[in-house]
Amino acid sequence: MAWVGSLLCRTNAIALTHSQMKRPSVGLVTSASGREGTLDERGPVKMNHHEDDVVVEPLRLRRFDHFPDALLDVAAPDLWLHLEGPSLFHLPGRHAQPLFVSVLLHGNEDSGWRAMQAVLRPHRGKLLPRPLMLFVGNIEAARAGVRTLPVQMDYNRCWPCAEQPVGPEARLMREVFEVARACSPFASIDIHNNTGNNPHYACVNRLAESFLHLARLFSRTVVYFDRPAGVQTAALAEICPAVTVECGIAGGAAGVAHAADFVASALAMSQFPHHPVPQGDLDLLRTFAIVRVPSDATLSYDDSDADFRFRGDLDLLNFSELEPGTSFGFLGHGATRQLDVLPGGDFTTTERYFEYVQREIRLSQRVIPAMLTVDARAVRLDCLGYLMHRIGRDGRRIAA
Ligand SMILES: [Zn+2]
């Protein structure tokens, strides 16, 4: 498959030692089946971690019927001390239909977890405006501070889809999906971070008004995507309006506050407006191409010699309307290499986006880039960035 990455966060997997992949054998109080867990009155069990005490457990879903106060102050890397693995919390609320929220599908993207702590803190002991289903995903990767462990499938690429992913992670996401479907969610929100200089934006893979209303609640910048397969948003879109929100770089307070406001607003919403989202309220974009550096080519951002010598401020171009001729940097060496430009969706062909004039790498048409990065590791693991165009409600490109 030509698709190599996604606009939804970047790959940042690193190697992990075997001992880091073991988990404590003692955990939260759940029923033997793990199907309907309830924390006991002691709350989460803090575990003493000794190498001799750990065993590798099969991946299974833990379910809880309340959110213990002790979790309100636990940082994502320490969640493994309190939760045995991927956990689904069912919290009661006044309206009938729950809001579904997933966080930490990527372990090093903690804004969603911190945002949910901020949402739940003031509701301690109080009923939420609407029931909440909170799925806390890759606790092991959060412990290691990485997106995904090398032994795992990406937790945001193995949700039910036409390609029918297999493996323990895919089975777990199928179970979460089936539980969610049985609860007829009002809406779904999946919270992520990314690298580089990007605004906060929402992603949808349907252009129905309810999806756009939900996305607009977070940001006027909305990116429509139909690849890759197996993402949470695409799965949940089968049963309710669903968005992914990208909250900038992990660790930023603004991203946490923005995500928390968004979730609180969605919880407080009684229904989606019946009128369409006004055209002027949205910057609707679609990914048309993915830009990769060939795997055997060298690159630099500091003018040192390499096949691709990119400008050091490349990520400052993200989400700007760029004109033809905009420079991405220069070719080095013999100036023999060119960037790989791959289709960003179900397009059979990719237009020409770059020209190479006297070794300079220039855009050859108007485009809006996203997630251009100055992190060479991210380029290697994923791609250089994405090229977008404005689209109408029909998904078609609006002529520049
Ligand atoms: Zn992510």
- The mean pLDDT value of the chain amounts to 86
CA of 88 to the centre of ligand 1 (A): 18
* Paired residues of 290 in beta bridges: 342, 386
CA of 263 to the centre of ligand 1 (A): 17
CA of 139 to the centre of ligand 1 (A): 14
User: Is there a contact between 320 and 368 (Cβ–Cβ < 8 Å)?
Assistant: yes
The backbone torsions φ and ψ at residue 342, rounded to the nearest 5 degrees and listed phi first, read -110, 155
Question: How many other CB atoms are there within 10 angstroms of residue 124's CB atom?
Answer: 9
CA of 155 to the centre of ligand 1 (A): 9
CA of 192 to the centre of ligand 1 (A): 4
Q: How far is CA 92 from the centre of its chain?
A: 26
Whether residue 98 is preceded by a cis peptide bond, meaning omega within 30 degrees of 0, is no
What is the per-residue pLDDT for 400?
63
Please indicate, yes or no, whether the overall pTM of this predicted structure exceeds 0.85.
no
Instruction: Give yes or no for residue 334 having a pLDDT over 90.
Output: no
Q: Which helix (H) or strand (E) holds 117?
A: helix 111-120
DSSP 278: P
Q: How far is CA 351 from CA 169, 292, 341, 364, in A?
A: 36, 15, 9, 10
The encoded tokens of residue 320 equal 């700007």
Q: Which helix (H) or strand (E) holds 181?
A: helix 168-182
What is the per-residue pLDDT for 349?
65
Mean pLDDT value of segment 106-117 = 97
The encoded tokens of residue 150 equal 């090398």
Residues in CB range of 33: below 8 A, 6 or more apart: none
CA of 400 to the centre of ligand 1 (A): 31
pLDDT grade, residue 57 (50/70/90)?
low
CA of 108 to the centre of ligand 1 (A): 8
User: Is there a contact between 12 and 147 (Cβ–Cβ < 8 Å)?
Assistant: yes
CA of 11 to the centre of ligand 1 (A): 8
What is the per-residue pLDDT for 26?
30
What is the per-residue pLDDT for 226?
80
CA of 158 to the centre of ligand 1 (A): 13
What is the per-residue pLDDT for 41?
33
Location of structure tokens 């969706």: 345
* Paired residues of 389 in beta bridges: 286
Please, which residues have CB less than 5 A from ligand 1, an ion? 9, 106, 109, 192
Instruction: Give yes or no for residue 38 having a pLDDT over 80.
Output: no
Between CA 287 and CA 62 the distance in angstroms is 36
Between CA 18 and CA 151 the distance in angstroms is 10
pLDDT in tens, 156-168: 999 999 888 899 9
